Amino acid sequence: MLDVSLIGTSGMMPLPNRYLTALYLRLNGRLLLIDCGEGTQVTLKSLGWGFKNLDVILITHFHADHISGLPGLLLTVGNSGREEPITIIGPRGLSHVVKSLLVIAPELPFEINIIEMQKPEEFQIGEFNIKSLNVEHGMDCFAYSIYVKRLGKFNPEKAKALNLPVKFWSVLQKGETVEYEGKTYEPDLVMGDCRKGIKISYCTDSRPVKRLVPFIAHSDLFICEGIYGEDEKIDKAREYKHMIFKEAATLAKDGEVKELWLTHYSPALTNPKEFLNNARAVFKNSYCGYDRKCVTIMFEE
Amino acid sequence: MLDVSLIGTSGMMPLPNRYLTALYLRLNGRLLLIDCGEGTQVTLKSLGWGFKNLDVILITHFHADHISGLPGLLLTVGNSGREEPITIIGPRGLSHVVKSLLVIAPELPFEINIIEMQKPEEFQIGEFNIKSLNVEHGMDCFAYSIYVKRLGKFNPEKAKALNLPVKFWSVLQKGETVEYEGKTYEPDLVMGDCRKGIKISYCTDSRPVKRLVPFIAHSDLFICEGIYGEDEKIDKAREYKHMIFKEAATLAKDGEVKELWLTHYSPALTNPKEFLNNARAVFKNSYCGYDRKCVTIMFEE
């Protein structure tokens, strides 16, 4: 199971009751963060999942509302006692941006592994399987999907056929390799096909480019920007390379996702629910995100 | 009269209900900010004094909790429509720090005038008369005082003696120079001595060095760090170059200030009022600061 918390829902600037858009994922106690604007550490603190197990931070792009909280967060992670390295993934130029911001946090007790992307890539960090997709925001910007794999069921018939001592079965079942009498046995020799895992996808900021549809396809949860709720603000959304609610919902529908959460609202959009029906008219399972909206997604039975 | 708002009261990291320590001053509609940690713009927004008239930002030192909010704030000031330059004053190295942080805010609609100090200095920015004092925090760090001058009373006897037409009296009274029949008349020719103005002083972060006493002397309001309330934490305060409540109160007493507001509490100090008596035992007019604690200080009648 995967815990998901939409940390904030504001775009452009943090507001007194609305922090900047970011996403926190927790999987078997390990943490992944997407974006880190000013104040993200405050709302993470409210959430109470801690900081020490934060293994990876994904940055969508370098507009301040998506990265300005990084030095403060990293200092707080350091104060939490972390000494293991942290991986930060983002567009090209990430090293320069992170190094510049860390002018005010020059001494962290952990290493930072920076990964710069120029094109869509895939990474595995712990149990998080991460894919990126370049989107359209007038500067290098990436959408992300996170996939949590689920192993197949253990198949005792297959295990018997290997003629391995029974004591090794549980080792293979845990996904570990067994060495026995000079031979190597891989776990997949005793497991059925992988079962459906959990997929989350996240897109902000971007125009609703067509390549997003296969990228987000069949997500359990699609978190997408909707900077304006009103249909008639589409020209403004086009100008600033954002999306309106209806466009996010169209992506959700075309990608056949299970559920859409809208986020990254304009500061002028004081009551996003007022326009939720503009999304629901296109995709029924649309919901307005709000700060620290949480869900625990289970593997399907 | 001068409006004062203690914008936040946290030290080290912003907390869900306690923003980082900063001070906002408003004088005839113009604004001065001391320090700008992560989230300062959020609590400024709650206060409602606006951003456009922010003429000067004083930075005490470069620990992240005192400056990490700068790029976000400057972007918000830009969004408020400001096009006039902003002055930022702080320790040597300020240009490098500001330039580094602005990697995520590369296009602001106003110029920034940076003033780096190596020693105590004095500045006049609009009607704000600013003095700085280097304090002791293990890195370059400055305390600040702000003085608002009050002109003397208009003296009609002096004006009569000048043999100037009466229509010029009000010009001189407003503090403007008059040119008449080839002569120049300065306002002070018709004004009594300057009357007592308003003085605010601000010190965080520092040990309570003796030179602070004359620097803060006779302030109407002294805002001072008190990272720990407990007397027995003095060794820890010494180690980290901070002060306990009692030390701040001793400065206030020795400086004969009117009132002390404590701030910059350790995140572990959840209820500062619990230890307020440790300050009051030394200086009666000690108060615990809290976020957006405001006062309007009037000229003395």
Asked if B12's CB is within 8 angstroms of A104's CB, the reply is: no
Q: Which of B42, B65, B104 sits opposite A14 (nearest CB)?
A: B42
Best residue in A42, A60, A70, A97 to probe B by mutation, most B CBs within 10 Å?
A42
β-bridge partners, B130: B123, B146
pLDDT at residue B149 in the model: 93
Q: Are the beta carbons of B5 and B30 closer than 8 angstroms?
A: no
Q: What is the b/e burial string over B52-68, where b = at least 16 CB atoms within 10 angstroms of the residue's CB?
A: ebbbbbbbbbbbbbbbb
pLDDT per residue rounded down to tens, chain B (301 residues) = 999 999 999 999 999 999 999 999 999 999 999 999 999 999 999 999 999 999 999 999 999 999 999 999 999 999 999 999 999 999 999 999 999 999 999 999 999 999 999 999 999 999 999 999 999 999 999 999 999 999 888 888 888 888 888 888 888 888 889 999 899 998 888 888 888 999 999 999 999 999 999 999 999 999 999 999 999 999 999 999 999 999 999 999 999 999 999 999 999 999 999 999 999 999 999 999 999 999 999 998 7
Q: Are the beta carbons of A219 and A200 closer than 8 angstroms?
A: yes
pLDDT at residue A188 in the model: 82
Q: Where are the alpha helices (DSSP H) in chain B?
A: 40-47, 70-79, 94-101, 156-161, 169-173, 212-216, 234-239, 245-254, 276-280
Residues of A in contact with B96 (CB under 8 A): 103
Q: Which of A14, A69, A101 sits opposite B41 (nearest CB)?
A: A14
B188 given a catalytic annotation: no
Residues of B in contact with A100 (CB under 8 A): 100-101, 103
The 10s digit of each residue's pLDDT in B240-274 is: 999 999 999 999 999 999 999 999 999 999 999 99
pLDDT at residue B263 in the model: 98
The 10s digit of each residue's pLDDT in B198-217 is: 999 999 999 999 999 999 99
Asked if A104's CB is within 8 angstroms of B97's CB, the reply is: yes
A207 closest CA partner among A179, A175, A248: A248
pTM greater than 0.90 (yes/no): yes
Asked if B103's CB is within 8 angstroms of A97's CB, the reply is: yes
Asked if B43's CB is within 8 angstroms of A104's CB, the reply is: no
Asked if B12's CB is within 8 angstroms of A39's CB, the reply is: no
Name the residue in chain B with its Cα closest to that of A44: B16
CA torsion A94→A97→A98→A101, rounded to 10°? -170
Q: Smallest CA–CA separation between B123 and chain A, in Å?
A: 26
pLDDT at residue B170 in the model: 87
> Confidence band (pLDDT; 50, 70, 90) for A27?
very high
pLDDT at residue A276 in the model: 98
> Confidence band (pLDDT; 50, 70, 90) for A172?
confident
Asked if A45's CB is within 8 angstroms of B79's CB, the reply is: no
Size of interface A-B (CB pairs under 8 A): 95
A212 closest CA partner among A157, A124, A131, A138: A131
CA distances from A120 to A66, A209, B113 (A): 19, 14, 41
pLDDT at A71 over 80: yes
Rounded CA gap, A46 and A32, in Å?
17
β-bridge partners, B179: B184
Rounded CA gap, A249 and A245, in Å?
6
Q: Which of A65, A69, A79 sits opposite B38 (nearest CB)?
A: A69
What is the predicted ipTM? Answer: 0.91
pLDDT at residue B188 in the model: 82
Residues of A in contact with B68 (CB under 8 A): 38, 68-69, 71-72, 104
Beta-carbon contacts of A164 under 8 Å, excluding residues fewer than 6 positions away, are A172, A178, A180, A185
Q: Smallest CA–CA separation between A283 and chain B, in Å?
A: 34
Residues of B in contact with A101 (CB under 8 A): 100-101, 103-104
> Among the options B35, B65, B205, B220, which is catalytic?
B65
Q: Which of A39, A96, A97 sits opposite B38 (nearest CB)?
A: A39
Show which residues on chain B lie within 8 Å of chain A, measured between beta carbons. 12-16, 37-39, 41-43, 45-46, 62-65, 67-69, 71-72, 75-76, 79, 96-97, 100-101, 103-105
pLDDT at A157 over 90: no
Mean of the per-residue pLDDT values of chain B: 96
Q: Smallest CA–CA separation between A16 and chain B, in Å?
A: 5
pLDDT at residue B173 in the model: 84
Q: Smallest CA–CA separation between A127 and chain B, in Å?
A: 30
Q: What tokens appear for A166 in the block?
A: 């029974």
pLDDT greater at residue B71 or residue A192: B71
Show which residues on chain A lie within 8 Å of chain B, measured between beta carbons. 12-16, 37-39, 41-43, 45-46, 62-65, 67-69, 71-72, 75-76, 79, 96-97, 100-101, 103-105
Q: Where are the alpha helices (DSSP H) in B56-203?
A: 70-79, 94-101, 156-161, 169-173
Measured from the Cβ of residue A29, the count of other Cβ atoms closer than 10 Å reads 11
Sign of dihedral through CA atoms B97, B99, B104, B110?
A: positive
Q: Which of A15, A63, A72 sits opposite B68 (nearest CB)?
A: A72
Q: What average pLDDT does this structure show over A56-74? A: 98
Could you give phi then psi for residue B264, rounded to 5 degrees? 60, 50
Alpha carbon B291 to its chain centroid, in Å, reads 16
Residues of A in contact with B38 (CB under 8 A): 38-39, 41-42, 68-69, 72
